[in-house]
Amino acid sequence: MKNKQVILHIDMDAFFAAIEELDHPEYCGKPVVVGADPKDGKGRGVVSTCNYEARKYGIHSGMPISRAYKRCPQAVYVFPRMRRYVEMSRRIHAIFNDFSPMVEPISIDEAFLDVSGCIRLFGEPIKIAREIKKKILEKTGLTASVGVAPNKFIAKIASDLDKPDGLVVVEPEEVLDFLFPLPISKMWGVGVKTEKKLKSIGIDTIGKLAKLPRNQVVKKMGNVGLHFWNLANGIDDRDVEISRKVKSVSLENTFMDDVGDDSILIETITGLADNVSRILRNKTYKGKTVTLKIRLQDFSTFTRSHSYNSFIDSSEIITQTCLSLYKQFERNEKKIRLLGVAVSNFNTECGDQLGLFDVNNRDDQKIDQLIDKVQDKFGADSIKKASIMDKHSRRIDDGDVPA
Ligand code: TTP
Ligand code: MG
């Protein structure tokens, strides 16, 4: 079981440039730009990053190096030394792993940590964040900025707000006060184009987007709009996904409104299970473990799994397993916010070993293959088992589908 989430987003400050300063104390106090050779202003290529001193001149990542040179010819310009940066990155990620088993590396200098389960061991989230920052400084000589929040979206924004060497904690009850005044450009995932579009209709803060009627946003922008509307209202159900190498195929569905009606829940599970099985067959994966994820209206989250002796991909088996896990689950009249279905423990390394008591029913397999064929030819909506419908979906996330 997992209670309410506590997520940390950790991002190193001016990472490449900070390493250059560390290794060259003589750069201290000067603007430092890491990137292509500026060749006295005639250089091609771009800025990888620069230190905070150089940012005062308006220099930033991705800017043509020639422009950076024009803005600040007196800066120290250095070539990237990737091997050194990767070595430092490894040290930092090792520190993350010391604090939580739930680490999602995002880039060379950045990760999400789910520390919900570590509070008893390490103390309050703010203490964990301070400890991590201290350990990073001790082991690398570098500073990091940390955001602490109830979900990934808020944590990501929070870590950026007080850079460098920042620490911003957003308590669950502070989420909306924190988010609403922020400019729309802070919305994670909103590109320059969408930002312009939103501004053109007067939406220049996150709060203004949040206060638009949900149905209106969905009508105009579809599922993407709904996703942004949810984020603007501080709602983000995405979990910290540990190692991308973990092989699992999963789909989740967050309901428009929390659901207590068994028939809708069963229908949704059936649909998710069937789609997961279809993805498995597309990727020619089979797995031994079927997992049902349930998030209740109060955000408490539960997973229930069943493992078979043989590898499966059948829609019928995955569906029946999930339904049986669902029936065993006691939700005590509480409504359900999110349902997820996953299959893991794949056959990719050892081949498809049929168990002695193989649970795969040959007839099921034939039906699945037939449905796949028709759907491949005529589209996903051309044929479906009678029980599958998706009308209650708030959004269907394609979960951890291995490439
Ligand atoms: P960022 O974390 O985006 O930037 P940063 O760490 O330099 O600065 P900040 O304090 O704002 O976090 O990226 C991490 C490193 O990735 C950065 O040091 C250099 C590299 N990088 C590029 O090479 N090109 C780019 O366009 C970006 C954005 C980053
Ligand atoms: Mg950084």
Cis peptide before 80 (omega within 30 of 0): no
Q: Dihedral of the CA atoms 398, 197, 55, 105 (nearest 10)?
A: 0
Mean pLDDT of 319-340: 95
How is 85-124 classified by DSSP, letter by letter? HHHHHHHHHHHHHHH-S-EEEEETTEEEEE-GGGHHHH-S
Of the residues 20, 21, 104, 110, which is catalytic? 110
Indicate whether residue 12 lines ligand 1 (CB < 6 A).
yes
- Tell me the per-residue pLDDT of 344-361, one tens digit each, with 9 for 90 and over: 988 654 433 333 344 455
Q: Is the CB of 163 under 6 A from ligand 1?
A: yes
Mutate to test the pocket of ligand 1, among 52, 61, 106, 159 (most ligand atoms within 8 A of CB): 61
Average pLDDT on 178-196 reads 88
Lowest mean pLDDT: which of 20-29, 328-337, 343-352?
Answer: 343-352
**Cβ of 109 below 6 Å from ligand 1:** yes
Range with the poorest average pLDDT among 39-43, 161-165, 322-326, 375-379: 375-379
Mean pLDDT over 204-225 rounds to: 90
Look up 110 and say whether it is catalytic. Answer: yes
Q: Which of 168, 172, 171, 209 is nearest to 187 (CA)?
A: 209
Position with higher pLDDT, 113 vs 369: 113
**Phi, psi dihedral angles at 111 (to 5 degrees):** -160, 155
Question: Do residues 19 and 62 touch, judged by C-beta distance below 8 A?
Answer: no
Nearest-atom number in ligand 1 for the CA of 12 is: 6
Q: Cα(31)–Cα(54) distance, rounded to whole angstroms?
A: 4
Q: Each residue of 106-116: pLDDT tens digit?
A: 889 999 999 99
Which of 109, 167, 188 for a ligand 1 pocket mutation test, highest count of atoms within 8 Å of Cβ? Answer: 109
Per-residue pLDDT, 223:
79
The 3-state DSSP class for residue 264 equals helix
Judge whether 210 and 180 are in contact, CB under 8 Å: yes
The two beta strands, 7-12 and 76-78, are unpaired
Can you tell me the distance from the alpha carbon of 323 to that of 303, in angstroms, rounded to the nearest whole number? 13
Please check whether residue 40 is in contact with residue 165, taking contact to mean a CB–CB distance below 8 angstroms.
Answer: no
User: Which residue's CA is minimally distant from atom 21 of ligand 1?
Assistant: 48
**372 CA to centre of ligand 1 in angstroms:** 44
The response to whether residue 360 sits with its C-beta less than 6 Å from ligand 1 reads: no
Q: What pLDDT shows up at residue 397?
A: 37
**Residue corresponding to tokens 């202003």:** 41
Task: Tell me which ligand sits closest to the C-alpha of residue 54.
Answer: 1
The percentage of residues in the chain with a pLDDT greater than 90, rounded to a whole number, is: 64
pLDDT at res. 243: 62
Take atom 12 of ligand 1 and give the residue whose Cα is closest. 13
pLDDT value at 383 more than 90: no
Does residue 13's CB lie within 6 angstroms of at least one atom of ligand 1?
A: yes
Higher per-residue confidence, 227 vs 7 = 7
Residue 62 CB less than 6 A away from ligand 1: yes
Ranking 150-154, 284-288, 325-329, 357-361 by mean pLDDT, the lowest is: 357-361
The ligand minimizing its distance to the Cα of 85 is 1
pLDDT at 363: 58
Highest mean pLDDT among 117-126, 170-179, 186-195: 170-179
pLDDT, averaged across the chain: 86
Q: What are the b/e assignments for 214-227, b being 16+ CB within 10 Å? A: eeebbeebeeebbb
pLDDT at 400: 37
Distance from Cα 58 to the centre of ligand 1, integer Å: 15
- CA dihedral sign, ordered 85, 91, 95, 97: positive
pLDDT at site 119: 86
What angle do helix axes 82-99 and 15-23 make, rounded to 10 degrees?
A: 110
How far is ligand 2, taken at its centre, from the CA of residue 63, in Å?
A: 16
Q: Is 16 in the pocket of ligand 1 (CB under 6 A)?
A: yes
- What structural domains does the chain harbor? 1-172 (3.30.70.270), 180-232 (1.10.150.20), 248-397 (3.30.1490.100)
Count, residues in the chain: 403
pLDDT computed for residue 35 by the predictor:
93
Using pLDDT thresholds of 50, 70 and 90, give the confidence band for residue 80. Answer: very high
- The maximal CA–CA distance of the chain, rounded, in angstroms, is 74
Q: Is 364 in the pocket of ligand 1 (CB under 6 A)?
A: no
Residue nearest to atom 28 of ligand 1 (CA): 61
Instruction: Assign 362 a pLDDT band (cuts: 50, 70, 90).
Output: low
Angstrom distance (rounded) from CA 60 to CA 17: 12
Of the ranges 93-102, 277-286, 300-309, 394-403, which one carries the lowest mean pLDDT score?
394-403
pLDDT confidence of residue 367:
64
For residues 174-199, average pLDDT: 89
Question: Mind listing the pLDDT tens digit for each residue in 231-262?
Answer: 999 999 898 988 655 578 889 888 888 999 99
pLDDT of 218 reads 87
- Pair type for strands 110-114 and 7-12: antiparallel
